[in-house]
Amino acid sequence: MAAPLLTVTDAVKTFGQMRAVDGASFEVAEGSITGLIGPNGAGKSTLFGAVAGETTLTSGRVTFAGEEIAERSATEIYARGLSRTFQIPRPFPKMTVLENVMLAATDQLGERFWNTWFRPGAVARQEREIRDRAHEVIAFCNLTAVERNLAGAISGGQKKLLELARVLMSDPKLILLDEPAAGVNPALLDTLVEKIVELNTRGKTFLIIEHNMDMVMSLCDPIIVLAQGKVICAGAPEEVAGNRAVIDAYLGEVVA
């Protein structure tokens, strides 16, 4: 059994009186494609935000790659190799697909004032490297045909692939995907699933929030079920699908 890459322990996140995350604990094993499911409002996206450092937990612990990160900033966590996509894709609509992907590169020398003045050669070299990497990542995500298009003008499914491309620029260890299948047509969905599997084979670990049960059941193992901010079940797909509490809290609603 591989050591957990991510461990969330007793996570609580309150908004005023409301406990959006209410004592959730779970692990993501290195090398896994772990699913996170549950009814709308269960606290899934809130957990993602807290794990990625966009918000701070009210209480609880988060360990990533052996280090406590609950108090770390989003930038620090991203630099350590944890990257997320958003439920609603957030590209810069008036920039091209290529520019959007290039912008996601970490450690851009050109942004550092001193380098621009004293090391223009290094900056140009770095920019070329980022451009080459962006082209690779765009090709991997089947976006080459639209790389000169404005990001605001591509299809919903292509925006999801663009989100994945941006995430891949930082070569993260752990990728959090928030509802990658939502609004994606079946052909692009197959592409997306294929890419996730291929990346996983190459060593990337995934934590995926998704409502598409066919996709979750075939792609994810284990699956964690969140309801009202608490983990009510975690296990292999068949265990989760047969669990009474899960059916009552969630699957009943999806199937009905």
Enumerate binding residues for ligand ADP (CB under 6 A): 15, 20, 38, 40-46
- Segment contacting Mg ion by CB under 5 A, of 82-90, 111-119, 194-202, 248-256: 82-90
Rounded least distance, CB 155 to ligand ADP, Å: 23
Query: Which of ligand ADP, Mg ion, none binds 40 (CB below 5-8 Å, type-dependent)?
Result: ligand ADP
What's the token pair of residue 237? 């797909």
Rounded least distance, CB 70 to ligand ADP, Å: 17
Rounded least distance, CB 49 to Mg ion, Å: 10
d(CA 66, CA 185): 38
d(CA 230, CA 159): 31
* Nearest to 227, CA basis, from 29, 15, 47: 47
Binding status of residue 46 toward Mg ion by CB under 5 A: no
Rounded least distance, CB 231 to ligand ADP, Å: 12
Query: Which of Mg ion, ligand ADP, none binds 84 (CB below 5-8 Å, type-dependent)?
Result: none
Return the number of the residue (55 or 115) whose C-beta is nearest ligand ADP: 55
Count of residues touching Mg ion (by CB under 5 A): 3
d(CA 232, CA 202): 31
Query: Which of Mg ion, ligand ADP, none binds 20 (CB below 5-8 Å, type-dependent)?
Result: ligand ADP
Return the number of the residue (134 or 231) whose C-beta is nearest ligand ADP: 231
Rounded least distance, CB 147 to Mg ion, Å: 29
Question: Pick from 45, 100, 158, 243: which binds Mg ion (CB under 5 A)?
Answer: 45
